[in-house]
Amino acid sequence: MTISTSLGHLFPLTGAALVGLGLFGFISLRHPLRQLLAVNVIGAGIFLILGGLGRGEGVTDPYPQALVITGIVVSVALTAVGAAMITRLAEERRAAGTASDQPKDQGP
Amino acid sequence: MTSAFELILCLMILGTACVALFMRDFLAAVAFFVVFGNLMGLAWLTLGAVNVALAEIAIGAGVTGVLLVLSRSRLLALGEEISCGPAKPWLRLGAAAACSVFTAVLAAAVLSIAPDDGLAPVIDGLMPLIGVENPVTGVLLAFRAYDTLLESFVLLGALVAIWSLAAPAAWPRAPAALRMTDPAALNVAGSFGRLLLPVALVMAAYLVWVGSDDPGGAFQGGTVLAGGFLFAAMGGAIGLPRSDNSALRWSLVAGPLVFLAIGLAGAALGRFLAYPEGTAKALIVTIEYSLALSIGVTLALLVAGPPATTETGL
Amino acid sequence: MSPLDLLVAAPLAFMVASLVVGRGGRWLILAASPAMLALSAWLVALPPDAAHLVGDWELPLGILLRADGVARLLVPATSLCFVAVGLYAWHEFSPKSGRETARAHTFWPLLYLMWGGSNAGYLTTDLFNLYVTIEMVSLAAVAMAAMGSLAAGLQYFLIALVGSLAYLLGVALLAAHYDTVDATLLAIHARPDLPTLLAITVMTAGLLVKTALFPLHGWLPPAHAAAPAPASALLSAVVVKLGFVIILRLWFEAFAEVVRPAAMHLLGGMGALAILYGSIQAIRQERLKSLVAYSTVAQLGYLFLAFPLISNAPNPAEPWAAVLVHAVAHMLAKAAMFLAAGLMLKAVAGERISDLAGLARAMPLSVTAFALAAISLTGLPPSGGFTAKFLLLHAAIEQGSVVYAAVLVIGGLLGAVYLFRPLSVACSGSAAPVVKAEAPLRVAAPLALAALAVALGFAGMMLIELSSLSAPPAAAGPLPAEPGR
């Protein structure tokens, strides 16, 4: 723990800021594809908090590293499902011929 | 010097995230998201977490970026605009205030936790028991193999979930073709894809192999494989398979199945997911190769989307 | 070999098998049902302190699996639901040659994924491992909800995604703070400092969104009402329970020393409002499945209303047992009700309650199943629902909690009002509509589940004994904890 505290917390603090930024994006953006992007920013922030706080003197703790890798894979799987749902919904709307020019109102 | 570099890196990460979130043009937003992912990878390198850096750049930036771009072009083809759609001003204001407070509390909580590599010594002590050198691989495939086993089923389940979205008439056809429509681009991508696929295969095999001792592993190798498949499909070098193709089904389940079988064999001999003495490394490498194959195929198909009735190019 | 591993490994193996077999995948339920019921029985019969580490890797690094009282009650109940739903769905999700659909093929692997995921969630004590199991269950749940309405499915997906991330943020803070995410170790080490409190807050909030506790319930009624009947049954009976169980683990085990009584009352208050709001909304619904879905919103309220009653109780074992019996009874009764509703609505080719007129004569068995489920949900004796609500009411009166006692009584009356309406319509009318006869298996599934929910009342003592196997949690209350684990 000889790293000066100001520097040691730099990455986890960046992660916290990313979580807040992504959350704001998720709430204020209306299109679901943009919300999906915002969710990925939140995820990246959480991983940076987890990994950044595992920073030791020489190495970073492999335990949070492994959790982060698992988290990244889960998050890409969910992003793919979300993207597929958004496109299929647009296809259905187009097929139904209604409101195809209006993005769906996605309240948080 | 280092601290200045880290500070600039963090500022750039935040800046690119802002642009990616709020840029009006979605294509540019995704481009910034990919840059953001690569900067995140750089941050992980700075933290000495090469395994995570590889995963972040390949999966977090690469695969997610391709997914978003592909979804955008499919939505545009359907005539849907990906608006930046500003919410009502009072909602934005309220959200901004709430998120700022939340961020401040989170930052305070983060500041009160001292960074340390608490479990690294424990893991170092256990590593000789499994005969691999990369501690992250040790955690993923031995000490917390259960997480990884379940995660491989999440990936498989995500593909099944995407398949379940297929229109009634589309099952069990192939996903909408990824082939480029512009002939010149197709030509370039075609020769590029043909060249890249074998390279990706070799690189994936290599990444998995070194993964037991050096940074790398099944997820990173599998992603490279998926990238090779996707490039080849965009160039028309390979077609996308129908979802009832039995070779496809077997390659999707190979990794989770081998992992589960080895876990259950351990249970028969004593403990679920325990490796008998001396066999750990061989079993871990077996699991990783089968996982890398399945992850590669699964990720490529996750990007391709559900079975479709029409052939639409990019 | 231990059921702790096999209860997770077997459904996953069936998921792989159903993907490989393809068209014949639905037949696997005939093998999975007896296997999973036998494994659940084995779990219940394990010695009281049964637990082991996966791969024999020690804590804090490894992952602990154990058979506590919660698991011994909820795993068998979950299995019963999956078996009944699987047998019911056997006709509905069958690939007919010539017009195969994606959902007939994908329903089965998704069912097994959800089954494995929820069992894994009940058996593990590792909070990160729980994150992965939540995602297994959510993924399958979202896909099943989207089978009914893509729009409702997408809304559910986005909300579930943010809920998972909130949970993950808490896990990240805990992992960094304590270098472990095992609930049994956190129970020893947790301190009431800022990172811990923030972690509990965001984890609970994320899980409450997924459990759809009022006022975070908005996504539930559209998603649960629109899905095909077997999917609705799983969503309402099984999926929402996992989030609840994790909250139970966090509040009464991992952070029992950290959580304050005020927080308990906040959850209890939200639960009370959920009961009132969900019941009133259920009364106002015109469509049968929306009514059943809003009933889920109300019934989930009871699970959280119990929180302050457990933490304040001189003998927490009683309300603790009540909440678990309620979870089990609701699981069985709600799955039965959605399946029966599916049969009734299919027969009349409508979705409104008014369409049901005279149905009691045309399909007496399905209406009986609905009625039996309603008996348990309203808490009439001798059902499992009665045992649970009686114990909760007893605890509330004993503690002098007038408000909670009043809500329990009013909630029971409102429940009787909204569930009596479809039944009275079904029994009304002079002419019985002509309906096509259903396969016996499809009628038997809801009937068996509903009968079990009612019969649960006779097994009260056994259930209470089983539930006491997990540590009776009283540490957060003003009175000392019960000794004995």
Q: Tell me if B19 is assigned to some domain.
A: yes
pLDDT confidence band for B237 (50 / 70 / 90): confident
Position B277 scores a pLDDT of 86
Indicate the angle between helix axes C3-21 and C28-45, nearest 10 degrees.
170
Residue A41 touches partner B, C-beta closer than 8 Å: yes
CA distance, residue B138 to nearest chain C CA (Å)? 11
Same domain, B68 and B162: no
Do B105 and B165 sit in the same domain of this protein? Answer: no
- B193 and B138 in a single domain? The answer is yes
Whether A28 and B91 lie within 8 Å, measured CB to CB = yes
Per DSSP, the three-state class of A28 is helix
pLDDT at residue A100 in the model: 40
DSSP of chain B:
-HHHHHHHHHHHHHHHHHHHHH-SSHHHHHHHHHHHHHHHHHHHHHTT-HHHHHHIIIIIIIIHHHHHHHHHHHHHHTT---------HHHHHHHHHHHHHHHHHHHHHHHTSPP--TTHHHHHHHGGGTT-S-HHHHIIIIITHHHHHHHHHHHHHHHHHHHHTS-TTTTTSPBPP---SSHHHHHHHHHHHHHHHHHHHHHHHHHHHHHTTSS--HHHHHHHHHHHHHHHHHTTSSPPPPTT-HHHHHHHHHHHHHHHHHHHHHHHHTSTTPPPTT-HHHHHHHHHHHHHHHHHHHHHHHHH-SB-SS----
Over the stretch B35-45, which tens digit does the pLDDT of each residue have? Answer: 999 999 999 99
Predicted pLDDT at B258: 97
Count residue pairs from B and C with Cβ separation < 8 A: 172
Q: How confident is the model at residue B231 (pLDDT cuts 50, 70, 90)?
A: confident
- The answer to whether residues B166 and B305 belong to one domain is yes
Q: Do B275 and C55 touch (CB under 8 A)?
A: yes
Suggest the residue from A91, A92, A101, A105 to mutate for an interface test with chain B (most B CBs closer than 10 A): A91
* Nearest chain C CA: its distance from A4 CA (Å): 18
> Residue B119 domain-assigned?
no
Same domain as B108, residue B6: no
Q: Is residue B123 part of a domain?
A: no
pLDDT digits (tens, 9 = 90+) for C244-287: 999 999 999 999 989 988 999 999 999 999 999 999 999 999 99
For residue range C108-164, list pLDDT tens digits in order.
999 999 999 999 999 999 999 999 999 999 999 999 999 999 999 999 999 999 999
Q: Choose, out of A9, A50, A100, the residue to mutate when testing the contact with C (most C CBs < 10 Å).
A: A50
Task: Count structural domains, chain B.
Answer: 3
Indicate if the pLDDT at residue B180 is higher than 80.
Answer: no
pLDDT value for B290: 96
Instruction: Tell me how far apart the terminal alpha carbons of chain B are, to the nearest angstrom.
Output: 45
Co-location of B305 and B243 in the same domain: yes
pLDDT for residue A107: 36
The C-alpha angle B27, B28, B31, rounded to 5 degrees, equals: 90
Which residues are within 8 A (CB) of B179 and not within 5 positions of it... i.e. 6 or more apart?
A: B186, B233, B234, B235, B236, B313, B314
**Chains interfacing with C (3 or more CB pairs < 8 Å):** A, B
Q: Which domains does chain A have, with CATH numbers?
A: 5-96 (1.10.287.3510)
Domain ranges of chain C: 282-477
Range of the domain at B92: 86-112
Q: For residues B68 and B93, state if they share a domain.
A: no
pLDDT of residue C113: 98
User: Which residues on C lie below 8 Å from A82 (Cβ)?
Assistant: 154, 157-158, 161
- Among B48, B130, B217, CA closest to A62: B48
Separation between Cα atoms, residue C233 and residue C224, nearest integer Å: 8
Hey, are the CB atoms on A35 and C158 less than 8 Å from each other?
yes
| Judgement on whether residues B53 and B182 belong to the same structural domain of the protein | no
Higher-confidence residue of B239 and B251: namely B251
Residue C99's pLDDT is what?
A: 65
Q: Nearest-CA residue of chain A relative to C154? A: A85
Identify the segments of chain C with pLDDT beneath 70: 97-99, 471-485
Judge whether residue A6 has pLDDT over 80: no
B292 shares its domain with B211: yes
Of the residues C113, C137, C169, C200, the best mutation for testing chain B's interface (the one with the most B CB atoms within 10 Å of its CB) is: C113
User: pTM for this one?
Assistant: 0.94
User: Distance between CA atoms of C33 and B131, rounded to whole angstroms?
Assistant: 40
Q: Does C176 touch chain B (CB under 8 A)?
A: yes
pLDDT at B154 over 60: yes
**Dihedral angle, C-alpha C135, C140, C141, C145, nearest 10 °:** 140
Whether residues B48 and B22 share a domain: the answer is yes
Q: What residue in C sits closest to A106 (Cα-Cα)?
A: C155
Does the pLDDT at position A106 exceed 80? no
First to last CA, chain A: 41
Q: How confident is the model at residue B310 (pLDDT cuts 50, 70, 90)?
A: low
pLDDT of residue B27: 92
**Which pLDDT belongs to residue B85?**
63
B1 pLDDT higher than 70:
no
Instruction: Compute the distance between CA of residue B250 and CA of residue A6 in angstroms, rounded to an integer.
Output: 51
Query: Cα distance from C441 to chain A (closest Cα, Å)?
Result: 33
Write the pLDDT tens digit of every residue in A51-78: 999 887 777 899 999 999 999 999 999 9
d(CA A85, CA A90): 9
Name the burial class of residue C47, with classes exposed (0-12), middle (13-18) and buried (19+) by CB atoms within 10 angstroms of its CB.
Answer: exposed
- Residue type for C442, please? R
Q: How many angstroms separate the CA of residue B112 from the nearest CA in chain A?
A: 10
Cβ contacts (< 8 Å) between C136 and chain A: which residues?
none
Residue A108 in this model has a pLDDT that exceeds 50: no
Which DSSP helix (H) or strand (E) runs through C65?
strand C64-66
Class of residue C451 by CB neighbours under 10 A (exposed 0-12, middle 13-18, buried 19+): middle
Q: What are the tokens at C84?
A: 């009944």
Does the distance separating the beta carbons of A54 and C176 come in below 8 Å?
yes
Q: Is residue B12 part of a domain?
A: yes
What value does the mean pLDDT take over residues B167-171? 85
B62-87 tens-digit pLDDT: 999 999 999 999 999 888 888 766 66
Residues B57 and B179 in one domain: no
Is the domain of B246 the same as that of B227? yes
**Residue B120 maps to a domain:** no
Interface residue C52 vs chain B (CB under 8 A): yes
Contacts of A80 in chain B (CB under 8 A): 67, 158, 162, 302-303
All residues of chain B having their beta carbon less than 8 Å from the beta carbon of residue C13 are: 260
